[in-house]
Chains A and B, each alone.
Chain A
């Protein structure tokens, strides 16, 4: 009888290998992960040199495990299993969190590794059709969101009450340099009003206090410190007004995405408009659009936390009822001609999971907006992706708006602003970026491009 079960054991093992073998070799393999929002490892390049160095075989292993057929569902199952290996304290689950944090983050640590930016080959070289081919645009956006999130999530992710929060686990004095660089813009831009809005992130408002003190930088203090170091720059301190909204229960940050929600951007834009002394439209001037079932970037970044996947949220944004503006894109992504104007809508429909890219479609472009406001005020916004959600709310405030993503701007910023006759400059970046040495250097370099 013993022998009978041995045979069964051998047969079952053989059957599993026999079933898996053809699947591994012949089944179609995915090349993009929807839940992790990244292109999967591609089949390695085959050269003699890469074989002898061992790179080829190493990458082949990666390719195989990364592109297993049905990878996203299997990876989801894997995460589900891993989430059941223990239990959480105070309802808090940590992902990729270091017990301890470095007090100073060096600039080198922040530098994106080779190939992180612009690695995706775009199939469609015709910018004029970009927003028709939604996939191209979102692929772009995914790439960029990944870059940004890598920097944001340097300290891991904390999940609490179905909300995934990126920890900014380092204390940095880089913020003062951010203030200096922004002030330098003001010094070089004679007669232009410069504003600085440092946008706090969700962790500041939704993290249980005992965890917050352990990990996060004190965002209020950091913003105050940056503002105190500004010279000839008007600070737009949105911290208190956002904190009030959170206390009032408004959904001004997403639970499943690392960005703020458009409603949060509305209140921040309102405060900026007051500081700049420009008109501002109320929420009633906008059409509220609700996209249910949204699960944003944080599902992937939280290590596919099942609580995030199973608790989607509404993606709510606001469209001006009167379309009294026109917008034009200048694509600055690698492989495009940034001189070629491309008429394009301000809101570009996206697949559900890419909803945040509805604003301007993506980051790698300069967006020029002309409105029917007649106040001779021309605004340039230097922003990261948080800034995108602000833009629609400023179409009733300025005559013209140039939206410039700091990471994808090929010109000399000072010359460019002078050439366009800019009267107001707004720096709108999230707190992690404003404390990120590499990002600050990028802003600085734009003056010398």
Chain B
């Protein structure tokens, strides 16, 4: 199931919320969340729910053995074994397509997210950051909690283990959660779906005949689509979590307003970047080793970050592209950028956005020959010229929405919310949810992009 769906919004969610708030006892509430999370997950993955169950319970049992041996050699061996099992299942279920094996295994939704969450738990227990979870239901709730199960944010066990036991539910939190959820819904239904339709009308055809402006417009629409799609999903997850009394980590912070690639990655999919920093880059030695080793560490991290996005080599290339850019920034670009006068900060934003958007071309095209064909279009090397009437038409067709989408990539809402809104917030929420419901009627099935990761 997905959030931006009438069945979820008006059937699943009301039942879930009613049951949750009718019960006052935290244990029962946890049980309700587990039950609904399983229905939610099994809705899309009726069989793979057993994989989730197995991964969760096996890891928890491991953790019970790790806990008394925390910090020891044996504990380390056990932790390594448990993590290896989790990574093995990720490799088997996600990465077999890379090697053209004769077996075809369909990717279990959310495996990339929940595998990482389990790893944060195992490492934390080994380090003694928190006690191992004795209750299977509670641990299952952490892993399977449906708001963040299938597309993040990647919630570390450390972030919420206290909240598993007890949560304070306040009017203010529920209200803020609702607002956050509705904003996310609007980002997905109004922005991402429309930008997606525009992008696919350009990128979905014969890209060999694109003009320069057509190619850039297409990938620009895609840049907006993927941002609104993914950050909208995170907003909905964070909002729902807040309604239930959880506080999930933030995942996006206006990444397209970044002035460098390094900054972009501190503001885009923050929980993934944080995971790779803390669980891969630093254990590899981070930047506290020789220059060559640091560069190698960076490349490994970015190769893996790329590949995390899908079992296709274009994602690895996309990751490495950012690895190289960040290395260049560290080496000289950031220093050079410091010399740009403050008033010209927008140039840095524009340059960063351009580089990121160019990167989306590597992300979008899983087929390398298509990717190259498209890049020839971006740089006018296909002889199709710069401009055509249809590109202009497609730009104007959703012009107002595109302009609003572009503006809201910047932190404008921070100024909006500063003005005490009073009636405005409930009114806008109501209008947005009704608008989204209308726009979902008769719409084609429209899953989230990050669903496949």
Where the two chains meet, the residues of A that have a C-beta atom closer than 8 Å to any C-beta of B are 2-3, 5-10, 12-14, 16-18, 20-21, 23-25, 33, 36, 51-54, 57-58, 60-62, 64-66, 68, 71, 74-75, 77-78, 81-82, 84-90, 92-94, 96-103, 156, 210-211, 214-215
A101: which B residues are within 8 A, CB to CB? 205-206, 209
29 of the cross-chain contacts (CB-CB < 8 Å) are A7-B171, A7-B175, A8-B426, A9-B429, A10-B178, A13-B426, A13-B429, A17-B14, A17-B17, A18-B14, A21-B15, A23-B10, A52-B46, A61-B7, A64-B11, A85-B194, A85-B398, A85-B401, A86-B401, A86-B402, A87-B397, A89-B396, A94-B397, A99-B390, A99-B391, A100-B206, A100-B207, A211-B390, A214-B388
> A13-B178, A77-B438, A99-B201 are known contacts. Are A65 and B393 too (CB-CB below 8 A)?
no
Contact residues in B for A6 (Cβ distance below 8 Å): 171-172, 174-176
* In contact, A12 and B393 (Cβ under 8 angstroms): no
The digit string for B416-453, where 1 denotes a CB below 8 A from any CB of A, is 00001111011001100111011111110100000000
Return A28 CB to nearest CB of chain B, in Å: 16
Question: Given known contacts A88-B397, A99-B210, is B423 in contact with A5 (CB within 8 Å)?
Answer: yes
Q: A8-B426, A86-B400 are in contact. Are A74 and B441 (CB under 8 A)?
A: yes
Complex Cα distance, B398 from A96, in Å, reads 13
A-contact bits for B1-39, CB 8 A (1 contact / 0 none): 100011101110111010000000000000000000000
Cα A7 to Cα B426 with chains together (Å)? 9
Cβ contact within 8 Å between B172 and A5: no
Further 4 A-B residue pairs, CB within 8 A, beyond A97-B390, A100-B207: A13-B182, A20-B9, A99-B388, A215-B390
Using an 8 Å CB-CB cutoff, how does the interface string of B354-395 with A read, 1 for contact, 0 for none?
A: 000000000000000000000000000000000011111110
- Interface residue? B202 (CB, 8 A): yes
CB of B356, distance to nearest CB on chain A (Å): 22
Complex Cα distance A9/B174, Å? 9
**CA distance in complex: A74, B390 (Å):** 29
Q: Are A93 and B178 in contact (CB under 8 A)?
A: no
Are B171's CB and A100's CB within 8 A? no
> Could you tell me the distance in whole angstroms from the C-beta of A68 to the nearest C-beta in chain B?
5
Q: Using Cβ atoms and an 8 Å threshold, which residues of chain A touch B285?
A: none
- Give A75 to B437 CA distance when docked, in angstroms: 10
Q: Which A residue's beta carbon lies closest to that of B43?
A: A57
Decide if B172 touches A86 in the complex (CB within 8 Å): no
Contact B178 A89, beta carbon cutoff 8 Å: no
Distance (Å) between the CB of B215 and the closest chain A CB? 9
Identify B390's interface contact among A68, A75, A86, A214, CB under 8 A: A214
Cβ contact within 8 Å between A103 and B206: yes
**A9: contacting residue among B175, B434, B445, CB under 8 A:** B175
B4 to chain A, nearest CB (A): 10
Smallest CB separation, B369 vs chain A (Å): 16
A2, A85, A92 — most chain B CB neighbours (10 Å): A85
- Residue in chain A with minimal CB distance to B392: A89
User: Could you tell me if A71 and B206 are in contact, using CB atoms closer than 8 angstroms?
Assistant: no
Q: How many A-B residue pairs have CB under 8 A?
A: 193
- Taken together as a complex, chains A and B put the C-alpha atoms of A20 and B17 apart, in Å, by 14
Q: Give the distance to chain A from B193, nearest Cβ to Cβ, in Å.
A: 10
With known contacts A17-B13, A99-B390, A78–B6 Cβ distance under 8 A: no
Q: Which residues of B contact A18 (CB under 8 A)?
A: 14
B441 touches which of A9, A65, A102 (Cβ 8 Å) = A65
- State the 9 A-B residue pairs at the shortest beta-carbon distance, nearest first: A98-B205, A6-B175, A75-B442, A86-B399, A100-B205, A20-B10, A85-B401, A74-B441, A100-B209
For the complex, give the distance between the alpha carbons of A92 and B389 in Å: 11
Contacting residues, chain A, for B178 (C-beta < 8 A)? 9-10, 13
Is the beta-carbon distance between B14 and A5 smaller than 8 angstroms?
Answer: no
Q: Complex: how many Å from CA A422 to CA B429?
A: 70
Tell me the complex Cα distance, A38–B398, Å.
28
Interface residue? B136 (CB, 8 A): no
Known A-B contacts A24-B6, A86-B397; the reply to A71 vs B433 at CB < 8 A is no
| Shortest beta-carbon distance from A108 to chain B in Å | 16
Chain B interface, >50% SS class: helix
For B421, the chain A residues whose CB sits under 8 A away are 5
Report chain B residues within 8 Å CB of A74. 438, 441-442
Determine the residue in chain B with the shortest Cβ distance to A63: B7
Cβ of B253 < 8 Å from any Cβ of A? no
B-chain residues with CB within 8 Å of residue A13 when the two chains form the complex: 178, 182, 426, 429-430, 433
Q: How far is the CB of B274 from chain A (nearest CB, A)?
A: 31
Output the least CB separation between B275 and chain A (Å). 29
Cα–Cα, bound, A60→B44 (Å): 11
Chain A residues near B207 (CB-CB < 8 A): 100
Known contacts: A68-B6, A99-B214, A101-B209. The answer to whether A5 contacts B441 by CB under 8 A is no
Bound Cα distance from A193 to B272, whole angstroms: 73
B426–A71 CB distance below 8 A: no
Shortest beta-carbon distance from B92 to chain A in Å: 20
Within the complex, the shortest CB–CB distance from A163 to chain B, in Å, comes to 16
User: Are B401's CB and A78's CB within 8 A?
Assistant: no
B393 CB to closest chain A CB, in angstroms? 5
Identify A102's interface contact among B13, B206, B392, B399, CB under 8 A.
B206
- Nearest residue, chain A, Cβ from B393: A89
Contacts of A100 in B (CB 8 A): 202, 205-210, 214
Query: Which A residues are in CB contact (< 8 Å) with B430?
Result: 12-13, 16
CB distance from A81 to the nearest CB of B (A): 7
- Chain B positions within 8 Å of A75 at CB level: 441-442
B47: which A residues are within 8 A, CB to CB? 52
Residues of chain B with a CB closer than 8 A to A14's CB: 17
With beta carbons under 8 angstroms apart, the residue of B43, B179, B399, B438 that contacts A87 is B399
Question: Is B102 an interface residue when CB atoms closer than 8 A count as contact?
Answer: no
Complex formed: what's the CA distance from A7 to B422 in Å?
Answer: 11
Partner of B205 from the list A36, A54, A99 (CB cut-off 8 Å) is: A99
A14–B181 Cα distance when bound, in Å, is 13
A contact residues around B329 at 8 Å (CB): none
Whether B152 sits at the interface, judged by CB under 8 Å, is: no
Q: Which of A8, A18, A100 has the most CB of B within 10 A?
A: A100
Take A10-B175, A89-B389 as given contacts and tell me if A51 and B201 are in contact as well, using a CB distance cutoff of 8 Å.
no
Instruction: Give min CB distance, B49 to chain A, whole Å.
Output: 10
A81 to B442, CA, bound (A): 14
- Check A87–B396 contact: CB distance below 8 A: yes
CB distance from B437 to the nearest CB of A (A): 7
Point out the residues of chain A lying under 8 angstroms from B1, CB to CB: 57, 61
Decide: B194 and A64 in contact? CB cutoff 8 A. no
> A61-B5, A214-B388 known; A10 and B393 CB under 8 Å?
no
**A60 — which chain B residues lie within 8 A by C-beta?**
7
Docked Cα-Cα span, A35 to B1, in Å, equals 28
Contact A20–B437 (Cβ < 8 Å): yes
Tell whether B218 is near chain A: CB-to-CB under 8 Å. Answer: yes
